[in-house]
Amino acid sequence: MPHLVQRVEFRKEMVIVHVLFKRSFWHFGRILFYLIVEGKARPVSRRVYGAALPKESAPFFLTCHETRERTKAEFIGNRSGGEVQIPLSAIGSFERLYAQIGEPSGETVESAWIEKSPSPATGGHIVAVIPCYDVASYCEPVILGALQEASYVVAIDDGSTDQTASLLDQIARDHPTLHVIHFAQNQGKGSALLAGFKYALEHWSFDVLVTLDGDGQHRPTDIPAVAKEIFTGKEFAIGERTFALMPWVRRFSNFWIAFFLRFFYPNAPIDTQSGFRAFHRELVEAITHQFTSGRYEVEFQILLYALSQHRKFAKTTISTIYLNRNVSSHFSAWRDTVRIFRVFFQHIGEICKTSSS
């Protein structure tokens, strides 16, 4: 495993560089860190900062090769990897920024360049929450893709009976920004999501929380498009799929729920059952106080809660992917449909009761 610059992100007033180390090399020499900053001047101004990373969490100084000025930074991590944190104010304005890990000889280790330009629409801190149940054959590319798009990822093993748990743990050993939660028994998708919400709130500062399924039916590359709605002022966003590409059971449920729901909430989404969603942090906090556990229907309950609270809402088109169209999946779809209709009619009953009183 080579040294890696996994990702560069902009968190509030900081540049955060996520790094992963090859442990065997660590014992034989220093690991050099470089930050290359390119400005908007013509010809393009270019500043190169360099320093040896400390072996444990500690402040250190990056020295500019051109001006010899020193910029204070901090490494948060251990011999497996971690974060390099640099204040944006110390770097100044720039157009492009790169991070690189190198050897003491000056040669780069593999291709460890990452480019990222700061943008108010996509430069915030994203956490992805991914529930997983018996998805050992599908979840790895989903988790790895989410790690590329989000600052942190929480994967919840919902009492899987296959190799899902061990696979998630294996990925987490190589990716410090992935945290895995294990349930001893299956508790349902709603409970898994809420556990991920609570962990994210307790451990990280983030602007947007995105949920997606671990079975390969959501593309992690759609994360920026859904998250962008929150960065531009919305509180809740849902990724809508194309009805024509859905299995007929899901299409039936979605159509009629949306049809009736719009009598009460005209701005309700057409795809009421999509699990690809984005939330503002404040709404995530409210949801964890409102709900404690549940199964598939919790996602619909969260949608009803957001609509009834008049939260700023957005819809974004995402890829439509369905797998495992067999008898078992059709049975699950009907079971989930019954649960959703039950929740819907309970909610309508509460609305009517409140109106009459």
Q: What are 95-107's pLDDT values in tens digits? A: 677 888 875 554 4
Q: Is residue 121 part of a domain?
A: no
Range of the domain at 297: 126-352
CA distance 198 to 289: 10
Residue 157: closest CA among 201, 210, 220, 199: 199
Name the CA dihedral angle for 348, 350, 353, 357, rounded to a multiple of 10 degrees: -130
**Pick from 116, 142, 172: which residue ends a domain?**
116
Q: Are residues 170 and 274 in the same domain?
A: yes
Q: Is residue 81 part of a domain?
A: yes
Q: What tokens does 221 get?
A: 């590359």
**CA–CA–CA angle 272, 234, 244 (5° rounding):** 30
**CA–CA–CA angle 72, 75, 81 (5° rounding):** 155
Give the CATH number, domain containing residue 41: 2.60.40
**Pick from 80, 96, 116: which residue ends a domain?**
116
Q: Are residues 290 and 248 in the same domain?
A: yes
Instruction: Kindly tell me if the per-residue pLDDT of 214 is higher than 60.
Output: yes
Instruction: Kindly tell me if the per-residue pLDDT of 154 is higher than 90.
Output: yes
Residues contacting 328, CB < 8 A, separation 6+: none
Q: Are residues 268 and 196 in the same domain?
A: yes
Residue 250: closest CA among 166, 346, 332: 332
SS3 call for 157: strand
Q: Are residues 216 and 140 in the same domain?
A: yes
Q: Are residues 178 and 326 in the same domain?
A: yes
Cis status of the peptide bond prior to 43, with omega within 30 of 0: yes
Q: Provide the residue type at 20 as one letter.
A: L
CA distance 93 to 38: 9
Q: Are residues 34 and 173 in the same domain?
A: no
CA distance 93 to 113: 20
Q: Can you give the pLDDT at residue 90?
A: 72
Q: Express each pLDDT in 316-345 by its tens digit.
A: 877 665 555 443 454 565 566 666 667 666
Q: Are residues 36 and 111 in the same domain?
A: yes
Provide mean pLDDT across the span 185-213. 89
Please say whether the dihedral angle defined by the alpha carbons of residues 194, 200, 202 and 207, taken in this order, is positive or negative: negative
Q: Are 8 and 100 in contact (CB under 8 A)?
A: no
Q: Are residues 345 and 325 in the same domain?
A: yes
Instruction: Kindly tell me if the per-residue pLDDT of 354 is higher than 80.
Output: no
Residues contacting 18, CB < 8 A, separation 6+: 5, 6, 7, 8, 9, 81, 82, 83, 176, 177
Is 156 exposed, middle or buried (CB count within 10 Å of its CB: 0-12, 13-18, 19+)? Answer: buried
Q: Is residue 39 part of a domain?
A: yes
Instruction: Kindly tell me if the per-residue pLDDT of 110 is higher than 60.
Output: no
> Beta-carbon neighbour count of residue 324 at 10 Å?
14
Give the CATH number, domain containing residue 295: 3.90.550.10
Q: Can you give the pLDDT at residue 9?
A: 73
Q: Are residues 81 and 13 in the same domain?
A: yes
Domain count, the chain: 2
Q: Are residues 96 and 132 in the same domain?
A: no
Please state the length of the chain.
357
SS (H, E, C) 114-137: EEECCCCCCCCCEEEEEEECCCCC
Q: Express each pLDDT in 280-319 by its tens digit.
A: 998 999 999 888 777 767 888 888 888 878 888 888 877 6
Q: Provide the residue type at 294 as one letter.
A: G
- The HSE-up count of residue 189 (CA atoms within 13 Å, CB side) is 19
Annotate 176-206 with b (16+ C-beta within 10 A) or e (fewer): bbbbbbebeebbbbbbbbbbbbbbbbeebeb
Q: Express each pLDDT in 156-170 by its tens digit.
A: 999 999 899 999 999
Instruction: Specify the pTM.
Output: 0.60
Q: Are residues 183 and 131 in the same domain?
A: yes
Indicate the pLDDT class of residue 195, thresholds 50, 70 and 90.
very high
Name the CA dihedral angle for 100, 105, 109, 115, rounded to a multiple of 10 degrees: 20
Q: What tokens does 357 get?
A: 């009183």
**Pick from 60, 90, 116: which residue ends a domain?**
116
Q: Is residue 357 part of a domain?
A: no
Q: Provide the residue type at 146 as one letter.
A: A
323 or 109, higher pLDDT? 323
Q: Are residues 161 and 276 in the same domain?
A: yes
SS3 call for 64: strand
Q: Is residue 286 part of a domain?
A: yes
